[in-house]
Structure 1
Amino acid sequence: MKLGGIKTVENAHDDSVWAVTWAPATQTRPPLLLTGSIDETVRLWKSDELVLERTNTGHCLGVVSVAAHPLGSIAASSSIDSFVRVFDVDSNSTIATLEAPPSEVWQMRFDPKGTILAAAGGGSASVKLWDTSTWEVIATLSIPRPEGPGPKPTDKSGSKKFVLSVAWSSDGKRLACGSMDGTISVFDVARAKFLHHLEGHFMPVRSLVYSPYDTRLLFSASDDAHVHMYDAEGKGLIGSMSGHSSWVLSVDVSPDGAAIATGSSDKTVRLWDLSTRAAVQTMSNHSDQVWGVAFRPPGGDMRSGRLASVSDDKSISLYDYS
Structure 2
Amino acid sequence: MAAVYEEDPSLERHFKGHRDAITSVDFSRAKKQLVTGSMDSSLMIWNMKPQTRAYRFVGHKDAVLCVHFSPSGHLVASGSRDKTVRLWIPSIKGESTVFKAHTATVRSVHFSNDGQSLVTASDDKTIKVWTVHRQKFLFSLSQHINWVRCARFSPDGRLIVSSSDDKTVKLWDKTSRECIHSFCEHGGFVNHVDFHPSGNCIAAGSTDSTVKLWDIRMNRLLQHYQVHSSVVNSLSFHPSGNYLVTASSDSTVKILDLLEGRLLYTLHGHQGPATCVAFSRDGDFFASGGSDEQQSEMDCGIHHKKTKSQDSGRIHEQQDEETSLANTLEHILGQLNVLTQTVSILEQRLTLTEDKLKECLENQQKILQNKTN
TM-score class, shorter: 0.7 to 0.9
User: Is the alpha carbon distance of 1:38 and 1:218 closer, same or farther for their aligned partners in structure 2, counting shifts above 3 Å?
Assistant: same
* Alignment deviations for residues 61-83 of structure 1 (CA, whole Å, 9 cap, x no partner): 11100011111100111111121
**Helix, strand or coil at the partner of 1:305:** coil
Q: Is the 8 A contact 1:118 1:129 kept in 2?
A: yes
AA paired with 2:167?
A: G
AA paired with 1:14?
A: R
Question: Deviation of residue 165 (structure 1)?
Answer: 0.8
AA paired with 1:245?
A: S
| Matching of residue 57 in structure 1 with residue 36 in structure 2 | no
User: Is the alpha carbon distance of 1:101 and 1:215 closer, same or farther for their aligned partners in structure 2, counting shifts above 3 Å?
Assistant: closer
**Helix, strand or coil at the partner of 2:187:** coil
* Alignment deviations for residues 242-266 of structure 1 (CA, whole Å, 9 cap, x no partner): 1100000000001121100000000
**Helix, strand or coil at the partner of 1:315:** strand
| Matching of residue 138 in structure 1 with residue 117 in structure 2 | no
Q: Is the 8 A contact 1:8 1:315 kept in 2?
A: no
Which residue number corresponds to residue 16 of structure 1?
A: 21
| Matching of residue 220 in structure 1 with residue 199 in structure 2 | no
Higher percent of residues as strand: 1
Q: Is the 8 A contact 1:76 1:85 kept in 2?
A: yes
AA paired with 1:269?
A: V
Q: What is the alpha-carbon distance in structure 1 between the residues aligned to residue 89 and residue 120 of structure 2?
A: 19
Which of 144, 153, 159 is the equivalent residue of 1:174?
Answer: 159
Question: Deviation of residue 134 (structure 1)?
Answer: 2.2
Which residue number corresponds to residue 125 of structure 2?
A: 125
Question: Deviation of residue 12 (structure 1)?
Answer: 3.0
Which of 207, 223, 245 is the equivalent residue of 2:229?
Answer: 245
1:15-94 mapped onto 2 (5 Å cutoff):
15-25=20-30, 30-47=31-48, 49=50, 52-94=53-95
AA paired with 1:252?
A: S
Question: Deviation of residue 196 (structure 1)?
Answer: 1.3
**Helix, strand or coil at the partner of 1:13:** coil
Q: Which moved more, 1:6-15 or 1:181-190?
A: 6-15
* Alignment deviations for residues 51-70 of structure 1 (CA, whole Å, 9 cap, x no partner): 54211111121110001111
Q: Is the 8 A contact 1:112 1:172 kept in 2?
A: yes
Q: Is the 8 A contact 1:80 1:102 kept in 2?
A: no
Q: Is the 8 A contact 1:96 1:135 kept in 2?
A: no
- Name stretches of at least 5 consecutive residues in structure 1 with no aligned partner: 145-157, 299-303
AA paired with 1:296?
A: S
Question: Deviation of residue 232 (structure 1)?
Answer: 1.9
TM-score by length of 2: 0.75
AA paired with 2:284?
A: G
- Name stretches of at least 5 consecutive residues in structure 2 with no aligned partner: 1-7, 293-297, 305-328, 334-373
Moved segments of 4+, more than 3 Å: 3-7, 48-52, 91-95
User: Is the alpha carbon distance of 1:309 and 1:180 closer, same or farther for their aligned partners in structure 2, counting shifts above 3 Å?
Assistant: same
* Aligned Cα root-mean-square deviation (Å): 1.9
Question: Which structure has the larger Rg?
Answer: 2
Which residue number corresponds to residue 293 of structure 1?
A: 277
TM-score by length of 1: 0.86
**Helix, strand or coil at the partner of 2:271:** coil
How many pairs does the alignment contain?
Answer: 294
Q: Is the 8 A contact 1:268 1:290 kept in 2?
A: yes
Q: Is the 8 A contact 1:125 1:142 kept in 2?
A: yes
Q: Is the 8 A contact 2:172 2:181 kept in 1?
A: yes
| Matching of residue 236 in structure 1 with residue 201 in structure 2 | no
Identity rate of aligned residues, in percent?
A: 24
AA paired with 2:69?
A: A
Q: Is the 8 A contact 1:219 1:229 kept in 2?
A: yes
Higher percent of residues as helix: 2
User: Is the alpha carbon distance of 1:201 and 1:5 closer, same or farther for their aligned partners in structure 2, counting shifts above 3 Å?
Assistant: farther
User: Is the alpha carbon distance of 1:255 and 1:192 closer, same or farther for their aligned partners in structure 2, counting shifts above 3 Å?
Assistant: same
AA paired with 2:169?
A: I
| Matching of residue 312 in structure 1 with residue 291 in structure 2 | yes
